[in-house]
Structure 1
Amino acid sequence: MAPGRINLSVAEARELAESALRGVGFDDGEARIIADHVVDAALCGYEYSGLAKILNILESEHFKLPRRPIKVLRETDVSVAFDGGNNVGMLSLFYASEATIKKAAAHGIALVSVTDAWMSGRSAYYVEMIANAGLVAIHTAASSRLVAPLGGVRRCSARIQ
């Protein structure tokens, strides 16, 4: 074991995560969903998306703003658009993935979107949820303008004077 590292069992990591999340205001179900996500990320080798991600949640400016219940904005038999209610994406996208599974299982296809959510964690987690239900998934994500597009770090046109 590397100096300064702590090894936890999966059960210990999950309990620590759930306890910390409950301590900052998440209910039992929300804490379980987020804890499952970060523990899974750590088990997949993504340490930065593991238990340490809980600290990122707490440090986020979004966390300081009020949360609202996740609600449906529009829905058809094969689609649903959710307002994530300023909830951490690990919650919003979990519920969106459940809706995707339900609609795709019933109708053969589904298109689900989420807005007003932040920090969704490891994107493959949601694709794996859907794949484990025997379905095929395509997941896309958007971010703020803090991320430069491909080629965006160099000037693409002449300087106008």
Structure 2
Amino acid sequence: MTDERITLPVAEARSLATEACLSAGASHLMTKSLVDATLSAIEVGREELGFPHFLDYLQSLRDGRIDGRASPRIVHRLPALIHADANRGIAQLGFDLVFGDLVNRARTFGVAIFTQKNSYTAGELGYYVRRLAIDGLVSLAVANSPAVVAAAPGAKAVYGTNPLAFGVPLPGSERPLVIDQSSSATAFVNIVRAATEGRIIPEGWATDENGEVTIDPHKALRGALLAFGGSRGANIALMVEVLAAGLSGASWSLDAPDFRSGAECPGTGLTVIALSPSAIEEDFGTRIAEQVSRLEQFGVYIPGQRSAPAAKSGADFITLDAKILAAIKSHI
């Protein structure tokens, strides 16, 4: 028996999410940023980082891990560098507040960097680079999170899932090229979902509390995730940690409080590097479009080109799990 799915008009889903955020204590500005990012994740097929993760934000607002009234403090350290302190708020709000400025500076100087510290976890990282790609910029985003990833079986969790995302505008395409992946073998939300649904997880995703590889998601939640590809994934996690937390002044993953319990904000970091491709190569748009077309002829999947079946571009409806919908309504 499959779980019940509910189809809602996007406008109704937005209204419910907005009301739930405001009821949980978020400001109007924070609410808009969070709801926009959540619906964007659903629209591009990242349902697990849509409303299921949205519930983490709602509970964290109520528990105090997110300060719903936080106002990011933004400073311009250099002409092409914007730094923000999220003040225990959400990562998306600081980015939204500087977005236009970041785009203008990238176009003016050819490159611009946004770093942010002291925020709740960054959510769907593709959101940041996707928006920049739509404005014609190539970008790389990295974010750290509380330590849940071990570099090898039997080792202590020292890194967050530490995702990285890369976005490229594709002229003539409805969607940009977007690569969004964690440094871990899977995203933490996938372990949570498997535990909730009573499913086993693939071997190699995680270890139990004794450091042994497990296929039981409940044991994995008491243990640690594993880096993808062994030491190679762990190296990527370290690189992300340095760029996201080291440069921004955010909490290292080892020092970040749990993002699902307690009353302390994880205080993690986000760094986004935006490039103006036309400033380097005037013919970049034509070249990338032709190259992607050639790759597709060889059967290569271009990341970012798929959308959720129930949320394709221009669709007026989204479909979500009835239990998730009920949980959102419980916050109103």
Q: Would you call these one fold, judging by a TM-score over 0.5?
A: yes
Higher-strand-fraction structure = 2
Query: Shift of the alpha carbon at 1:56?
Result: 0.4
Query: Residues of 1 paired with 2:9 and 2:75: CA distance?
Result: 40
Worse-superposed segment, 127-136 or 41-50: 41-50
Query: Shift of the alpha carbon at 1:34?
Result: 1.1
Report if the CA contact (8 A) 1:38-1:51 is conserved. Answer: yes
Report if the CA contact (8 A) 2:73-2:86 is conserved. Answer: yes
TM superposition score normalised by structure 1 = 0.81
Report if the CA contact (8 A) 2:18-2:31 is conserved. Answer: yes
SS at 1:29 equivalent: helix
Listed as ranges, the matches of 1:56-67 within 5 Å are 56-60=56-60, 64-65=64-65, 66=67
Would you say 1:48 and 2:48 are equivalent positions? yes
Unaligned runs of 5+ in 1: 156-161
TM superposition score normalised by structure 2 = 0.42
Would you say 1:4 and 2:8 are equivalent positions? no
Worse-superposed segment, 90-99 or 137-146: 90-99
Would you say 1:81 and 2:83 are equivalent positions? yes
Unaligned runs of 5+ in 2: 156-332
Listed as ranges, the matches of 1:8-27 within 5 Å are 8-27=8-27
Query: Residues of 1 paired with 2:137 and 2:5: CA distance?
Result: 38
Post-superposition Cα deviations, 1:4-63, rounded to whole Å, max 9, x if no partner, equal 211112111111111111112223232122111111111222222112322101333895
Post-superposition Cα deviations, 1:70-124, rounded to whole Å, max 9, x if no partner, equal 0125521100111111112232333354442132122221011011111211111
Indicate the structure whose relative CO is greater, using CA pairs within 8 Å and at least 6 residues apart.
2
SS at 1:139 equivalent: strand
Cα separation, partners in 2 of 1:24 and 1:59, compared to 1, 3 Å: closer
Q: State the AA in 1 paired with 2:54.
A: I
Highest Rg: 1 or 2? 2
Listed as ranges, the matches of 1:4-153 within 5 Å are 4-60=4-60, 64-65=64-65, 66=67, 68-149=70-151, 152-153=152-153
Across the two proteins, how many residue pairs are aligned to each other? Answer: 152
SS at 1:34 equivalent: helix
Query: Residues of 2 paired with 1:18 and 1:51: CA distance?
Result: 12
Structure 1 segments, 4+ long, off by >4 Å, are: none
Q: What percent identity do the matched residue pairs reach?
A: 25
